[in-house]
Amino acid sequence: MSAVSCHPSGELTPATARVERLRAAALERAYAMPSVDDECVLLTARSWWRTGHEGSHMLRRGILAGDILCGMTPVIDADELLVGKYAYRTLTDDERSALAMWRAYGEPATSKALGQRAHMAVDYERVLRRGVAGIKEDIAGLRARLDIARPEELEQDYFYRACLAALDGVVILSRKYADLAEAQAQDADPARADELREIARICRKVPESPAETFAEAMQAIHFMTFCLCAGNGMLLFQLGRPDRYLLPYYRCDLAAGRITPESAQELIDCLGILLNAYTPRGLAVGWMVGGRDASGMDVTNELSYLFVQTVGHVRMAYPSVGVCWTPETPRALMVLASRLLARGYSHPALFNDDIITRGMVRLGVPHGDACEYIHSTCVEITPVGISNVYVASPYFNLIQCLHDVLGIPPRGEQPGALPAIAAFEDLVSRFRQRLHAVVRAGVADSNLHMMSRKYAGGFPLLSCLVNDCLARGKDIDQGGARVNWIECSFVGLANLVDALAAIRDLVFEQQRLTLGRLREALLANFDGYADVQAMLGTCPKYGTDDDRVDVLVQEVTDLLRAACEPYRSYWGDAFVPGLFCWQMHEYLGRGTRASADGRCEGFPFADGSGPAQGREVLGPTAAVCSSTKWDHTPMLGGVAVNMRFHPGPNPDDIAEPLRQVCETFLRLGGFETQINVVDARTLREAQAHPERYRDLVVRVAGYSDYFVGLSPELQAEVLMRAEMELSPC
């Protein structure tokens, strides 16, 4: 796929040669990236062995983060302008022996911190404004007020000491990078030597001290993000709203002649490529742009375009870019987004800023904070800088809830009895009862995870950048954050409503089918029951703008919201519903028997909250109408509506109708939509010749991944999605 970017003027420009080289190298590593860095695991082992005498678990956790960062091997590859990633070095024989000992005896004996990690954006403005040194000064001031003779303040003091130990590691690792850059400059050609010396200068300054230039700010936010990942053993920190917090640095540098839009774009591209260098496949990490500020003004600016344009340069699974749309979003930004999508890049995703902000306010988030949110990975929404939100905790299988009512167990288990169900309303009532029981069990399990973190967790480095952990003297795992929601996700919405519509019509209204015979057909995976499967296929389907089934979507989503409403997280915040699935539509579908929507056993469920695969038979307008007839506002756990379009001979011919479809979805109240513009022929060609399509990125279900790296089941699921046509304007 060719590299392009699109300026607000519409001009297409290529990526720089540097970016193309960095991209090629990163793509080669993407398929072979280890899930963990052995060096970091070894450093973890050494730290735990070294601090066994400490009386404070929290202090040990802070020292652990510092020890990992201090001990890491820095690596700077050719062409890089931003630095900070795993070396993935080969361990020595002695190191491998020590690592094996740790994994066999040490690691299994450590207390487990369960539950979600990361899936957030931290307070990057604090990093840029105060630097590590300033944060340490803040901590010193807080410690000075403590009376450690008081038990609660003694605990706070140990938390602050843990924070300081972790922060020291950030500074030491940054200085190691400066040393390496200076050493490499000795043997580099003059141009590269100048770049390396500038890297060294910047790494000696940030993130220890406040940033003053755009390049310093870019290095600071990237390096702190990488340190949060490495020092905490985490993934998936998002970069928040860089078009907001980096704008002053960008404009100042432009005015002073220190930077051009082209050189800023290259730095942004380098950042996007680096995310691919230390984030394994199958996840999502990136940033958002646009949206409103606390005053209600759309904040789209010149930097917003650059952070979107990087999609056309990087052309990899990451960064995951979201455009926060309002009715006042400049048309030029949406044109840019649609032109990139029309070229098959799968980014950016389009989010409804007003719907999401309204949902945040309903949950009690102050309006100023509600305007600063992030798609925490895929489409789950978490507030920036104040979040200890657990996302996708847990995933709920909606079809299995219905099957439980019908006595249909998961695959491989023996069926139960079919209860007497006299009317459709009775079936829905039993489904509601089962749903509440399943949600109740999920809440208990998720709260157990939060509770385990109170005693076995602790992330002092992260807590330095999440409000109000420092002010409260509490780690993020001890309730220090302002927001501590749990966001669950319900999988198989379209399958459920299509199944309910079929049962209502065929069993209870038309009486063409008994519930017993339908159950037999589902247990047999339609083997010998082709007539039943054919009947199911004639029933109304979600995605065709048919009120007979779409009315059920509103009823079901109301049930989901009501099932979550009574419950609270361990720290007293809301239990929030969502309707996206990451890869879980394939995983849960694999274990679920055939369903009354006509789906065969083992096949993936619908890939989010849009229509099930292949059922958008009346085109995008009908699919958009069906997908917006219910209230998306409460679903901050994420709403993902995937649409796939035929590319056509000229991408620019479909860019404008694509923009119109997407904006119609958003104007009708849609939460989020994401687009694949790729034809079935290309996908089948990629299956046959994967070596030719290593960079073919597709939207899966809230995230993007390389098509040839997907499981056969997920490839089949993507292929089954209806390939809708767009008429050129």
Mean pLDDT of 618-645: 92
**What share of the chain has pLDDT > 90, as a percent?**
81
What does the pLDDT read at residue 142? 98
What does the pLDDT read at residue 648? 79
Helix (H, G, I), strand (E, B) or coil at 432: helix
pLDDT digits (tens, 9 = 90+) for 183-208: 999 999 999 999 999 999 999 999 99
Residues with Cβ within 8 Å of residue 176, at least 6 apart in sequence: 72, 74
Instruction: Please report which confidence band the pLDDT of residue 729 belongs to, taking 50, 70 and 90 as the band edges.
Output: low
Predicted confidence (pLDDT) at residue 10 exceeds the cutoff of 70: no
User: Counting every residue, how long is the chain?
Assistant: 729
Instruction: Please report which confidence band the pLDDT of residue 34 belongs to, taking 50, 70 and 90 as the band edges.
Output: confident
Is the CA virtual torsion 243, 222, 25, 644 positive or negative?
negative
What does the pLDDT read at residue 723? 64
467 or 110, which is more confident?
A: 467
pLDDT digits (tens, 9 = 90+) for 470-508: 999 999 999 999 999 999 999 999 999 999 999 999 999
Mean pLDDT of 157-171: 98
Name the residue type at position 55. G
pLDDT digits (tens, 9 = 90+) for 380-411: 999 999 999 999 999 999 999 999 999 999 99
Residue spans of the domains in the chain: they are 252-379+642-729, 402-444+488-571+579-639
**E strand or H helix that includes residue 286:** strand 286-290
Q: Which of 51-60, 145-154, 277-286, 333-342 has the lowest mean pLDDT?
A: 277-286
**What share of the chain has pLDDT > 70, as a percent?**
97
Cα–Cα distance for residue pair 638/627, rounded to 1 Å: 14
Cα–Cα distance for residue pair 151/144, rounded to 1 Å: 16
Say whether the peptide bond before residue 319 is cis (omega within 30 degrees of 0): yes
Mean pLDDT of 240-251: 98
582 or 160, which is more confident?
A: 160
What does the pLDDT read at residue 339? 94
**E strand or H helix that includes residue 375:** strand 373-375
Predicted confidence (pLDDT) at residue 367 exceeds the cutoff of 50: yes
Is this structure's pTM higher than 0.85? yes
Asked whether 334 and 340 are in contact (CB, 8 A), the reply is no
What is the full DSSP assignment across 131-178?
HHHHHHHHHHHHHHT--TTSHHHHHHHHHHHHHHHHHHHHHHHHHHHH
Instruction: Please report which confidence band the pLDDT of residue 5 belongs to, taking 50, 70 and 90 as the band edges.
Output: very low
What is the full DSSP assignment across 652-665?
HHHHHHHHHHHHHH
Residues with Cβ within 8 Å of residue 489, at least 6 apart in sequence: 380, 391, 392, 394, 395, 396, 577, 578, 579, 580, 581, 584, 637, 638
Predicted confidence (pLDDT) at residue 1 exceeds the cutoff of 70: no
Q: How far is CA 203 from the centre of its chain?
A: 29
